[in-house]
Amino acid sequence: MPLSTSEPAAGALFVLAATVLLLFLLAVAFAVLVLALRLRNAREARRLGRLEERWKPLLLEVFANEASVADLLASVAPGEQIHFTELVLRYWRQLRGRERLALGELARPHLSLFAARARHRREHQRARAVQVLGTLGLPHYEGEVLAALDDPSPLVAMVAARSLTRTGRLEYLDPVLGRLARFAGWRRTYLAGMLARTGSDAAPALRAVLANPEQELAVRVVAADALLQLSDPASAEVAAEIARTESNRDLLVSCLRLLGKVGTGIHRSAALGLVASPEFAVRSQAMRALGVLGRPEDQPILEEALEDPSPWVALEAARGLGALGGTGTLQALARGDGPRASLAREVLAG
Amino acid sequence: MDFVSALPALLGAFNILVLFYFVALNGVYLVTSLLAFGALRRHAARLSSFEVEDTLTTAGAPPITLLAPAYNEEATCVESTRSLLTLRYPDYLVLVVNDGSTDGTLERMTEAFELEETPLAPVAEIPTAPVRAVWRSRRHPNLWLVDKENGGKADALNAGINYCRTPLFCAMDADTLLEPDALSRIARVFVEDVETVAAGGIIRIVNGCSVRSGVVQRIGLPRSLLGRFQVLEYLRAFFAGRMGWDALDATLVISGAFGMFQRGVVVEVGGYATDTVGEDMELVVRLHRHCRERKIPYKVVYVPDPVAWTECPESLRILGRQRDRWQRGLIEAITRHSRMLFNPRYGRIGMLAFPYFFFLEMLGPVIEGLGYGAFALSVVTGRASTSYVVAFLAVAVVFGIALSIAAVGLEEMSFRRYPRYRDLLGLFWLAVLENLGYRQINAFWRLRGVVSKLRGVRGWGRMERKGFDVSGNRS
């Protein structure tokens, strides 16, 4: 009991005093370490700053055709290559056209260093290397970037997939689609955005994935979302067929959303078949699609849906009514003070 | 046995309790600091491996609604909103909720952003005080304002959630300044893992920094000592505390000043609780409980790189009120979900984080306060050795200093926001100085918070804002 005696045991007191001393030394050591870290960081920042000051004027001269690529490369010492390439990468993101070509030439001699790093034991080193190779080194280093799709780290694989799809080259789409299941934990709209960057040429492959019941559901959903982003009219038929035959909620939602964007009147029945789905997310997308694809005689379905317990379904139904000419119903609703009056006012206000 | 004869035994027992509390508290701080060290290193390495903004400035970035509740914020609301409109994120809305302000908040907003009344239907039905009107800016189509009757911050947030149509929302204070890339950085964890239901970023103190067009231009320490103590305190809380708990996968607190949530899950749990002053922590605890009880895979995370800047109180009176409220909020969140305590059903939350917050954060001020009393009584009655008292206090102080310096080290290792040597050395000095009164008064405020809670005190207490230094000079 350390504090309840007026005659302390010398041993216990010694332990406390030693603890104080130890902790004091620890605090001093921390402070020294932090200061050393600050000095090192400041020194490194100064060094990098000096390098950039040396390279930037030359870089501008290269862009202005006042200096050659070789002139600038000659100013990069062996230990400075990595940092030089990082600088090039920064500029590459901000510039387009002829400047980008020049930047590609400037980076090329140093990319072999990154190719070696793509096999580094540390995940983040590999990811960074693949990022550099995927941005500045394609198609020359496509073997390394394609191999990174199978990297044990999902982060590295994702960096590779993003780099490949960013090129917009169709030949990279299949390898990425084939590994899409690896990214199951990622947000689907994000993956869809990545695939859509390949452009409308990717649509046939994406349609094939969407239509294939052997594919994983999550992959088919991503394909549907990518087709939505591409506004691919030819995918409406596939989406309608899925809406008629499949039952997975996420797949139905994506296909109905796709139908709502690219479908036509002939796909109306696909939406109609799902307006009574037990899932509110499916019902709301069915209402949305019906608003686009439906006919005036569908108005009673939409009117009934205004009372749906889900505000999302009611909102889409109100929008649908507005689109199908049911403004009379909406005006009557807007005049009242019922729970859905604000929906009607919003839709009527456009 | 009468009280007088029992006193020595009682004092002895209590002193053991205090000693145990001290060892446990500092042990936890030490462990979380060590864990934070490893976690920050991993985080920094991960961030260096790819460009965050490049990842999220393309199609597919999840749309976000920023919810900024405002109550009598006429001094800062325009500047804060302007800052929110300049964020670098491809798809977001700003939804300010005017919570029945009695000052010129609505007028200032209407004038500055050319707001006009626009019909908008709610898409969730969390009960709130009546909404008077919804406004939209003519100049900024992504700026909305919900004008409602006063109901408190949680009620305002719930109203905002009712009108939120994006899968993610970001809850913040009206006077919070987000760094331009803060949304991209915090949204990253929701993109990389769909199981993430909530994430919190770091809160830094804006006092002493210069702000232009809603963006922090130059970072510095506040002029007042009280403000400076809080800078150190926040560094310790966010780097050594939250980062360490996150490494244990046991994040229980996301600051109300800056947190992002999956809208659907928050609606499912009924939104923010309006009958507590700790609505931010209570929501996070409830999310844990909801997901664990239903066996829903989920993650609640802390991310150290998205930064929100907030104004800290620089008067003892206001700071005391804030800490009193924080303590009451903590007690309310913890006692409301006390069944989670040591309940293996709630995993690490029930077995690690909850006991820490229950015994060391909630009951801590009581033990500490009574401990000071027992200490004094022991000295007065001659039952304490002066050497022991001095040695024990020295251990406590030096341990505290070491942990504070370690937190400054974590900052230096990762984000280096205070680039001047003067500020760095100032933080070291503060680590020593805060033991000479600031920590004790903080303990007193927390104890007062416990007493306030027991007395049934409710409400937030008035907070005063000075506004940001927009002159381009240091304040």
Residue A300 · residue A318 · CB < 8 Å: no
Between the two ends of chain B, the Cα-to-Cα distance in Å is 62
Confidence of residue B59 (pLDDT cuts 50, 70, 90): low
The residues pairing with B145 across neighbouring beta strands, listed in sequence order, are: B96, B135
Number of H helices, E strands in chain A: 20, 0
Rounded to whole angstroms, the Cα distance separating A275 from B207 reads 55
Position B126 pLDDT exceeds 70: yes
Please tell me whether residues A163 and A245 are part of one structural domain.
no
The CA distance from A66 to the nearest CA of chain B, in Å, is 31
Q: What is the mean pLDDT of chain B?
A: 90
Confidence of residue B52 (pLDDT cuts 50, 70, 90): low
Pick from B49, B119, B409: CB nearest A155: B49
Q: Model confidence over B22-38: pLDDT tens digits?
A: 889 989 999 999 999 99
Rounded to whole angstroms, the Cα distance separating B450 from A228 reads 55
- Which residues of chain B lie closer than 8 angstroms to A5, CB-CB? 383-385, 388
Confidence of residue A5 (pLDDT cuts 50, 70, 90): very low
Q: What is the mean pLDDT of chain A?
A: 91
Rounded to whole angstroms, the Cα distance separating B431 from B421 reads 15
Q: What is the mean pLDDT of residues B4-31?
A: 82
Q: What is the mean pLDDT of residues B125-152?
A: 96
In a domain? residue A95: yes
Q: Model confidence over B303-314: pLDDT tens digits?
A: 999 999 998 999
The CA distance from B273 to the nearest CA of chain A, in Å, is 22
Please identify, among A119, A141, A167, the residue that sits at the C-terminal boundary of a domain: A167
**In the structure encoding, which two tokens stand for residue B438, read together?**
């600031």
Percent of chain B exceeding pLDDT 90 equals 68
Q: What's the confidence (pLDDT) of residue A20?
A: 87
B123–A4 C-beta distance less than 8 A: no
Q: Which residue has the higher pLDDT, B399 or B198?
A: B198
In chain A, the number of structural domains is 2
Q: Which residue has the higher pLDDT, B414 or B315?
A: B315
Rounded to whole angstroms, the Cα distance separating B136 from A35 reads 50
A131–B375 C-beta distance less than 8 A: no
Q: What's the confidence (pLDDT) of residue B383?
A: 73
Confidence of residue B462 (pLDDT cuts 50, 70, 90): low
In a domain? residue A349: yes
H/E stretch holding B116: strand B115-117
ipTM reported for the complex, 2 dp? 0.90
In a domain? residue A162: yes
Residue A114 · residue A86 · CB < 8 Å: no
* Helix, coil or strand: residue A331: helix
Residue in B453, B443, B470, B473 with CA at minimum distance from that of residue B22: B443
Q: SS3 breakdown of chain A: % helix, strand, coil, rounded to 5?
A: 75, 0, 25
Rounded to whole angstroms, the Cα distance separating B195 from B197 reads 6
Supply the CATH number for residue A271's domain: 1.25.10.10
Q: What's the confidence (pLDDT) of residue A17?
A: 85
B7 touches chain A (CB under 8 A): no
Percent of chain A exceeding pLDDT 90 equals 74
B166 touches chain A (CB under 8 A): no
Q: Which residue has the higher pLDDT, B370 or B3?
A: B370
CA–CA–CA angle B16, B19, B20 (5° rounding): 85
* Helix, coil or strand: residue B301: strand
Task: Determine the structural domain holding residue A104 and report its residue range.
Answer: 42-167
Residue A316 · residue A287 · CB < 8 Å: yes
| Interface mutation target, options A1, A3, A342, A348, chain B, most CBs of B under 10 Å | A3
Torsion of CA A258, A262, A266, A271, to 10 degrees: 30
Please identify, among A167, A183, A209, the residue that sits at the C-terminal boundary of a domain: A167
Please tell me whether residues A264 and A157 are part of one structural domain.
no
Q: What's the confidence (pLDDT) of residue B469?
A: 59
Confidence of residue A3 (pLDDT cuts 50, 70, 90): very low
In a domain? residue A253: yes
| Neighbouring C-beta atoms of residue A250, cutoff 10 Å | 18
Please tell me whether residues A53 and A134 are part of one structural domain.
yes
Please tell me whether residues A50 and A162 are part of one structural domain.
yes
In a domain? residue A144: yes
In a domain? residue A229: no
User: In angstroms, what CA-CA distances link A159 with A119, A171, B183?
Assistant: 14, 17, 20
Please tell me whether residues A163 and A47 are part of one structural domain.
yes
Please identify, among A116, A140, A167, the residue that sits at the C-terminal boundary of a domain: A167
- Which residues of chain B lie closer than 8 angstroms to A190, CB-CB? 60-62, 191
Minimal-distance CA residue of chain B relative to A129: B49
Rg (CA), chain B: 23
Please tell me whether residues A248 and A325 are part of one structural domain.
yes
Q: Which residue has the higher pLDDT, B122 or A11?
A: B122
Pick from A2, A27, A123: CB nearest B401: A27
Q: What is the mean pLDDT of residues A306-323?
A: 93
The CA distance from A137 to the nearest CA of chain B, in Å, is 16
Q: Model confidence over B181-212: pLDDT tens digits?
A: 999 999 999 999 999 999 999 999 999 999 88
Please tell me whether residues A238 and A163 are part of one structural domain.
no
Percent of chain A exceeding pLDDT 70 equals 97
- Which residues of chain B lie closer than 8 angstroms to A124, CB-CB? 45-46, 48-49
Q: What's the confidence (pLDDT) of residue B465?
A: 60
Burial (0-12, 13-18, 19+ Cβ within 10 Å), B175: buried
Q: What's the confidence (pLDDT) of residue B325?
A: 94
In a domain? residue A286: yes
B117 touches chain A (CB under 8 A): no
Pick from B58, B192, B413: CB nearest A186: B192
Type of residue found at A52: E
Q: Model confidence over A92-108: pLDDT tens digits?
A: 888 888 888 889 999 99
H/E stretch holding B98: strand B92-99
* Burial track A71-109 (b if 16+ CB lie within 10 A, e otherwise): ebbeebeeebbebbbebbbebbeeeeeeeeebbbbbbbe
Please tell me whether residues A251 and A327 are part of one structural domain.
yes
| Neighbouring C-beta atoms of residue A52, cutoff 10 Å | 14
